[in-house]
Amino acid sequence: MKRLLLVTAAVAGLAASLPAAAQFQKPEDAVKYRQSAMYVMANHFGRIGAMVNGRAPYDAAAAAANAEIVATMSKLPFIGFVEGTAGTQKGSAAAKIWTNRSGFDADAKTMQDAVAKLVAASKTNSLDNLKGAFGDVGKACKGCHDEFRNP
Amino acid sequence: MKRLLLVTAAVAGLAASLPAAAQFQKPEDAVKYRQSAMYVMANHFGRIGAMVNGRAPYDAAAAAANAEIVATMSKLPFIGFVEGTAGTQKGSAAAKIWTNRSGFDADAKTMQDAVAKLVAASKTNSLDNLKGAFGDVGKACKGCHDEFRNP
């Protein structure tokens, strides 16, 4: 548990230090960056989902490893949501992200908080705990996508 | 320094637990995954590069934050180099990855070791240290790309 707290503290530190360095050479780079970070996050979240949904055997160590990666990734995409990238080719970010940035940021934090609980649940060696925390992260994903992602 | 060691231990733990869960639904997913992980890694490595090359002011905290993300990302792409994805559309992985997997894995480890030194250097508050470690990572990237990536 001590290790978990220290890792979480380190990740929080990363996020705090990132905005100052949040630069992209062109809008497309920011779109590709956030989509890449989301894709990696979704992949590792999906590996936990396979266990939760019975498509893969429950493996507590793998669940915990994947949850930690999800936690790291959960901090990253948001530096890619820079102004001017709403209508960028291939992007599906809704323009309202930039007219309601505080709402968007709040949704991001809701997700990150749910992911932190997923990390904790993944260390308890309980599939039931994992299922509950996984569902809460899924709800947080969907809540933000419904509001801030174009179909 | 204690925090750094604990974070590094956690990341090493992640990598050790990953192979068992390394599944993709189709080859294209594995290609997209590894390219996404590489893109995120390259972006954060590039943010350090901007400081090293004088295009951005040296910010020790930002350098350290980015180095830690590079370290996490450096473990991820390789689960995406699954057999059968050499000729996949859009992929640039050379077929020799799978005829010389031990050489490829050795190159990956060389890069990861260089990244671990970059993380250490980023905590010393010395731009010179950062420059040296950055250059070594760049050499490791190039060495593997020259050998195992199609032009």
Count A/B contacts: CB-CB distance under 8 Å: 90
A32 touches chain B (CB under 8 A): yes
> Where do the structural domains in chain B lie, given as residue ranges?
2-11+28-76+92-148
As given in the structure block, the two tokens for residue B142 are: 């190039």
Considering only CA atoms, which of B51, B56, B55 is closest in space to residue B118?
Answer: B51
pLDDT of residue B41: 98
Distance separating alpha carbons of residues A8 and A14, to the nearest angstrom:
10
CB atoms within 10 A of CB A19: 10
Chain B closest CA to A129's CA: distance in Å?
A: 20
What ranges in chain A are assigned the alpha helix state H?
A: 2-17, 27-52, 60-74, 96-99, 101-122, 127-148
- pLDDT of residue B142 exceeding 80, the answer is yes
Q: What are phi and psi of A93, to 5 degrees?
A: -75, 130
pLDDT of residue A151: 83
Chain A closest CA to B151's CA: distance in Å?
A: 21
Distance separating alpha carbons of residues B22 and B20, to the nearest angstrom:
6
Tens of pLDDT, residues A2-41: 343 334 444 444 554 554 335 788 888 999 999 999 999 9
Considering only CA atoms, which of B72, B108, B77 is closest in space to residue A75?
Answer: B72
ipTM of the complex: 0.84
Cβ distance of B14 and A40 shorter than 8 Å: no
Cβ distance of B56 and A14 shorter than 8 Å: no
Tens of pLDDT, residues B101-119: 999 999 999 999 999 999 9
Distance separating alpha carbons of residues A118 and B1, to the nearest angstrom:
27
As given in the structure block, the two tokens for residue A107 are: 């949704």
Distance separating alpha carbons of residues B89 and A23, to the nearest angstrom:
30
Nearest CB to B47; choose among A21, A64, A65? A21
Write out chain B residues lying below 8 Å of A62, CB-based. 17-18, 20-21
Please tell me which residue of chain A has the smallest CA distance to B19.
A62
pLDDT of residue A107: 98
- The pTM for the full model equals 0.85
pLDDT cut 70: percent of chain A above it: 81
- pLDDT of residue B42 exceeding 90, the answer is yes
**3-class secondary structure, A93:** strand
pLDDT of residue A136: 98
Residues with Cβ < 8 Å from A1, sequence gap 6 or more?
Answer: A123
- Give, rounded to a whole angstrom, the gap between the first and last alpha carbons of chain A: 40
As given in the structure block, the two tokens for residue B67 are: 């180095």
CA B19 to chain centre: 17
Tens of pLDDT, residues A105-148: 999 999 999 999 999 999 999 999 999 999 999 999 999 999 99
What ranges in chain B are assigned the alpha helix state H?
A: 2-17, 27-52, 60-74, 96-99, 101-122, 127-148
As given in the structure block, the two tokens for residue A31 are: 């779109």
Cβ distance of A10 and B68 shorter than 8 Å: yes
Note the CATH number of domain B2-11+28-76+92-148: 1.20.120.10
What string of DSSP letters covers B56-83?
A: S---HHHHHHHHHHHHHHHTSGGGG--T
Please tell me which residue of chain A has the smallest CA distance to B60.
A17
CATH architecture of A2-12+34-148: Up-down Bundle (1.20)
Instruction: For residue B93, give the DSSP letter.
Output: B
pLDDT of residue A88: 63
Strand partners, A149: A93
Query: B32 exposed, middle or buried (CB, 10 Å; 0-12, 13-18, 19+)?
Result: buried
